[in-house]
Structure 1
Amino acid sequence: MPLDGLFTHAIVHELNDLITGGRITKVHQPYPNEIVLVVRNNGQNYPLLLSAHPSYARAQITRIPYENPQTAPNFVMFLRRYLEGAKLQKIEQVENDRIINFYVNARNELGDIQEIRLTLEMMGRHSNLFLVRESDARILELIKHVPADQNRVRSLIPGATYVLPPAQNLKNPFTAGLDGLAQMILDTPLEEWPKYIQKTYQGFGRESAEALARAINQAGDQLAHAREWLAHFDHLAPTLFTSKDGSLSYSAFDWLQDSASQEEFPTLGTMLDAYYIGKAERERVNQQAGTLVRVVKNELKKNTAKRKKLLKTLEDAENADELKVKGDLLITYPHLVQKGMKSVSIENYYDNNNLLEIPLDPKLNGLKNAEKYFNRYRKLRTAVDFVNEQIALTDAEIDYFNNIVAQLDVASPKDVEDIRLELTAEGYIRANKKNKQKPKVSKPDKFESSDGTLIEVGKNNLQNERLSLKQADRRDIWLHVQKIPGSHVIIHDSNPSDTTLIEAAKLAAYFSKARESANVPVDYLPAGKLRKPNGSKPGFVIFEGQQTLYVTPDASLVSKLKIK
């Protein structure tokens, strides 16, 4: 189901059970449109994600790890001032809409207690997160400032009065009840039931309206069954559905949706983590890596064009002897050429005196045309060694940026900054002179094999280099896909079991450009045999004496083995 008013009701129900009465100990803003509040309640920390993302707005307890920026954004600094240490008094949904209010009692600059409201509006591209002073409804700050010319219905800037979005004037099914469905059942054709439900009751998305219509159509006492169906949003059984084409959908309970398979979760938070871990993470990476992608594409385009020109020059150089022959013939028979001629046919004594058509510069005589051919011949012959060297360098650049592309394909948000740091150090991106903080490289992803062996996977060149050449024991086993861009993988064991070796090889295949392939060759050998050539790019190593395994990447194995 989409995140509609009904699902928001379920979220509020779960959050009230888990964190109401808890104390906000930390406030983070790991991504531009998302806040994480760490709420301590009943001896446990609950990371509460409040997302105003235009596509993935939601509220949930999340266990997906996140990396905070080195410099805290202004919005999170403002929230910390009001929220850190405050007690979460209550959580309420506005009617049955996609709006949640989080109430806290905080102290102002004078030390007086004031009621503060954190309001999350989950409205697609209009999603926003507000910090509001409850006494006068004044907006203290919000995560997205919206100019007046973009929203004339209400003011969305600090200092303005908070006003709810325009009301739809529909019935709240949890307070008004569903008695009106009896008339619908009598007067409305079955195929029109979902539309009637959406036009009458607040908070119904298309899928939930269809699910209710489907449920009451199959029941005996239809109105009683409708009430029972609605009550499920207070008695949760979070369910994730997988369709035949592999796409995912979810609901607060199993509402008999057609699917190839389904999985029940203990909480809405764990279910949403499973649903969003691919979608939201990919979107976050795309947002953060926009500049990097453009840089990499431009560099690939530039080097590919350069390679074509170099190959053309090399092809011309291979035909340089023809230029010498033409020069020899022109210098032997200069009298056959007069200024103004565009070509001349001369008997080629190198080829059984067959006539050879020689293009000419009409401004020059025979000897000057001959000199021009000799100059081109000498230039091309001299260029061969230089061109071959440039082709090798250009091929290395193309391989390097193809490797970056592969890393961006599997990157998590914390990996993007490492790639940005690397491209800056290599001179492809201009350094930010204002940022004087020394950047730190994120840690490789950690996995535990079926027999308990630690496996680490580098997700970018800086991680790869540090993991393989500095952190790994020389007896640890190093793995990498054969002749394809991909991650460095280290098994922290000198004599791993066959099971661990195969699982690590599958990880290496998955975190590579061959992740969609079958029967991928993966090389492995002790890490002590790796060598880094002087002056080579980050993460580049050479080796010999490797062995090779053939495996098929397995996405389910990645989630199964990953250490959270």
Structure 2
Amino acid sequence: MPLDGLFVHSLAKELNEQLAGGRITKIHQPYPNEIIMVVRNNGQNYPVLLSANPAYARAQVTRIPYQNPATPPNFAMFLRRNLEGARLSSVAQVENDRILHFSISTHDELGDDQTLILTLEMMGRHSNLFLVREKDQRILELIKHVPADQNRVRSLIPGATYTLPPAQNMTNPFGQDLTALAKILLDMDKVDWPKAIQQTYQGFATLSAKNLAKHLETGANAMQTAQDWLAHFDSPQPTLYQVDNKYTFAAFDWDSEQAGQPYDTLGDLLDAYFQGQAEADRVNQQAGTLVRLVKNELKKNQTKEKKLQQTLTDSKNAESFKVKGDLLITYPHLVHKGMHSVEIENYYDNNQLLTIDLDPRFDGLQNANRYFRKYRKLRSAKDYVLEQLKTTAAEIDYFNQIASQLAVASPKDVADIKVELIEQGYLREKVKIKTKGKQTKKPKHVLSAPDQFTASDGTLIEIGKNNLQNDKLSLKKANRQNIWLHVQKLPGSHVIIHSDNPSQETIEEAAKLAAYFSKARDSANVPVDYLPAGKLRKPNGAKPGYVIFEGQSTTYVTPDPLLVQKLKHS
């Protein structure tokens, strides 16, 4: 189901149960439209993600570790000054709309008690996050300032009075008498039920309305069926569905025809659903330059490879030029200036007549020398072309590897890939200009940590998401007896099982992770090699991430996205 008013109803209930009465200890802003607010309650820290991202707006307790910028944005600094140390009183939904109010008890500049409202509006491209003073509804700050010429309905700038978005004049279905619904449905064709539900009751997305209509068709009493269906949102059973490699989610297991993956909380469900999509979107934003660079380098090297292959094909004719030169130097009297061709018995081929093209400006000996020069040029070019083909093929493999890594990268991996491309000379580093004769020392890049997973039996599995991580993980960090895995003959991540004698189940799980974090993630029956890490070798001068090995075993697996979520460290 989409994140409509019904789902937000369940979210508000879960967040209120987890957070109400807790104290706000930290606030971060990892991305422009999202903040992480850590609330400590009942001896536990709850990282609350409040997202006003146009595509992924939501509120949830998240277990995903987000990378914070070195310099906090202004909005994060403002929230820290006003909210850190304050107590979160409650989380409430506005009617059955996609709006949540986080009521926060704190003090003003004079030390007097005051209540601030952190309001999240989850409305697609109009999503926004406000800090509002309750007593006068003044907007103190908001994550997205909207000029008056872009929104004439209400003012969305600091200092303005906060007003709710325009009401749709529909009924909140929770706690209401649903008799009106039963009467409406009696007078309508079943095909129109979803439309009638949406036009009557607030917070129904199309998919939700269709699901309720489906239940109403099988229920004996329409009003009771609708009430029972709505009651699920007060006792959610978070469920993730996968259909044709696409995912959808629901607050409860509402699809009797499709098996779903249950989750303990709505936050865990949203982590599983949004992580891949949201991360890919963030990577595309942050790595746009890198993606273009990789595409251009691949195109350039693939074009070069075609030209070299053509030159290699031409070089195979070198022997024919030598034969023609030999024949011309043997029978020079048959050629005179002004001739365009000559037929000579080829003693290399049973004296068959061979037609030889001539330059009419030259005699037989001069034309023979022309063929010998072509022969020598092509012979020397062949060795050069073979070496160039080898180098070009390595470049293509390297950039295919980078492209594969960008496809599965998280934002923290992008910085590592950028550093690698700078070190390899493919990307120019931006140099800061000195000011007032002072030289600013560039901070050393800190390599991000590999992703960590826990096998079903508790064994730690680590995965390198870029070449710098792969080198460190496989060649420097890993115990020589730990088991190393990599998808066979395709770009992919290095995987380390932190055990010298893992169970077959752990090997299979690690192999599925290796296949998922590779170019074969959408394939089936993927071959994955594995062997002790001590057998890995890195040739001198090899690019980052490149290793050679022998004596490996191979297992065949099919990548499983749900397993990835199940084994991922929180």
What CA distance in whole angstroms lies between the structure 2 residues aligned with 1:251 and 1:505?
30
Q: How does 1:418-433 map to 2 (within 5 A)?
A: 418-433=416-431
Amino acid at match of 1:479: L
Give percent identity, aligned residues only.
62
Tell me if the contact between 1:237 and 1:266 (Cα under 8 Å) persists in the aligned partners.
no
Please report the TM-score for the alignment, with normalisation by the length of structure 1.
0.88
Amino acid at match of 2:536: L
Correspondent of 2:468 among 446, 462, 469:
462
Correspondent of 2:558 among 517, 531, 553:
553
Match of 1:272 in 2: 270
Seen in structure 2, the aligned counterparts of structure 1 residues 215 and 285 have a Cα distance that, compared at 3 Å, is same
What CA distance in whole angstroms lies between the structure 2 residues aligned with 1:337 and 1:141?
91
Per-residue deviation, 1:315: 1.7
Q: How does 1:264-343 map to 2 (within 5 A)?
A: 264-325=262-323, 332=332, 336-338=336-338, 343=340
Match of 1:236 in 2: 235
Seen in structure 2, the aligned counterparts of structure 1 residues 167 and 449 have a Cα distance that, compared at 3 Å, is closer
What CA distance in whole angstroms lies between the structure 1 residues aligned with 2:337 and 2:369?
13
Q: How does 1:391-402 map to 2 (within 5 A)?
A: 391-402=389-400
Q: How does 1:422-461 map to 2 (within 5 A)?
A: 422-434=420-432, 436-461=442-467
Per-residue deviation, 1:398: 0.9
Seen in structure 2, the aligned counterparts of structure 1 residues 519 and 177 have a Cα distance that, compared at 3 Å, is closer
What CA distance in whole angstroms lies between the structure 2 residues aligned with 1:359 and 1:134?
96
What CA distance in whole angstroms lies between the structure 1 residues aligned with 2:74 and 2:374?
63
Q: What secondary structure, in the 3-state scheme, does the structure 2 residue paired with 1:468 have? A: helix
Amino acid at match of 1:489: V
What CA distance in whole angstroms lies between the structure 2 residues aligned with 1:543 and 1:523?
10
Per-residue deviation, 1:477: 2.7
Amino acid at match of 1:549: T
What are the Cα deviations for residues 86-132 of structure 1, in whole angstroms up to 9, with x where unaligned? 22233232332212222324556676665433222211222222333
Tell me the matched-pair count: 556
Match of 1:167 in 2: 167
Please report the TM-score for the alignment, with normalisation by the length of structure 2.
0.87
Q: How does 1:29-68 map to 2 (within 5 A)?
A: 29-68=29-68
Match of 1:178 in 2: 178
What CA distance in whole angstroms lies between the structure 2 residues aligned with 1:68 and 1:176?
44
Per-residue deviation, 1:516: 4.0
What CA distance in whole angstroms lies between the structure 2 residues aligned with 1:308 and 1:118?
59
What CA distance in whole angstroms lies between the structure 1 residues aligned with 2:508 and 2:242?
29
Structure 2 gaps, min length 5: 433-440
What CA distance in whole angstroms lies between the structure 2 residues aligned with 1:521 and 1:226?
50
Seen in structure 2, the aligned counterparts of structure 1 residues 386 and 158 have a Cα distance that, compared at 3 Å, is farther
Per-residue deviation, 1:321: 3.3
Seen in structure 2, the aligned counterparts of structure 1 residues 212 and 486 have a Cα distance that, compared at 3 Å, is closer
What are the Cα deviations for residues 408-438 of structure 1, in whole angstroms up to 9, with x where unaligned? 3333333233222222222222323349332
What CA distance in whole angstroms lies between the structure 2 residues aligned with 1:53 and 1:259?
32
Q: How does 1:89-488 map to 2 (within 5 A)?
A: 89-106=89-106, 114-134=114-134, 136-148=136-148, 150-174=150-174, 177-233=177-233, 235-240=234-239, 242=241, 245=244, 247-255=246-254, 257-325=255-323, 332=332, 336-338=336-338, 343-347=340-344, 349=346, 352=351, 354-358=353-357, 360=359, 365=362, 373-434=371-432, 436-488=442-494
Q: What secondary structure, in the 3-state scheme, does the structure 2 residue paired with 1:35 have? A: strand
Per-residue deviation, 1:337: 3.6
Q: CA RMSD in A?
A: 3.1
> Which range moved further: 129-138 or 462-471?
129-138
Per-residue deviation, 1:261: 0.9
Q: How does 1:80-95 map to 2 (within 5 A)?
A: 80-95=80-95
Q: What secondary structure, in the 3-state scheme, does the structure 1 residue paired with 2:174 have? A: helix
Amino acid at match of 1:72: P
What are the Cα deviations for residues 2-31 of structure 1, in whole angstroms up to 9, with x where unaligned? 111122122112211211221111112223
What CA distance in whole angstroms lies between the structure 2 residues aligned with 1:334 and 1:154?
97
Tell me if the contact between 1:507 and 1:553 (Cα under 8 Å) persists in the aligned partners.
no
What CA distance in whole angstroms lies between the structure 1 residues aligned with 2:88 and 2:126?
26
Tell me if the contact between 1:147 and 1:156 (Cα under 8 Å) persists in the aligned partners.
yes
Tell me if the contact between 2:508 and 2:557 (Cα under 8 Å) persists in the aligned partners.
no
Q: What secondary structure, in the 3-state scheme, does the structure 1 residue paired with 2:548 have? A: coil
What are the Cα deviations for residues 145-193 of structure 1, in whole angstroms up to 9, with x where unaligned? 4455544444444455544333322223336643422431343333222
What CA distance in whole angstroms lies between the structure 2 residues aligned with 1:34 and 1:163?
22
Tell me if the contact between 1:505 and 1:549 (Cα under 8 Å) persists in the aligned partners.
no
Correspondent of 1:535 among 538, 541, 544:
541
> Which range moved further: 507-516 or 527-536?
507-516
Per-residue deviation, 1:526: 2.9
Seen in structure 2, the aligned counterparts of structure 1 residues 419 and 89 have a Cα distance that, compared at 3 Å, is same
Seen in structure 2, the aligned counterparts of structure 1 residues 333 and 433 have a Cα distance that, compared at 3 Å, is farther
Amino acid at match of 2:423: A
Seen in structure 2, the aligned counterparts of structure 1 residues 304 and 263 have a Cα distance that, compared at 3 Å, is closer
Structure 1 gaps, min length 5: none
What CA distance in whole angstroms lies between the structure 2 residues aligned with 1:61 and 1:461?
32
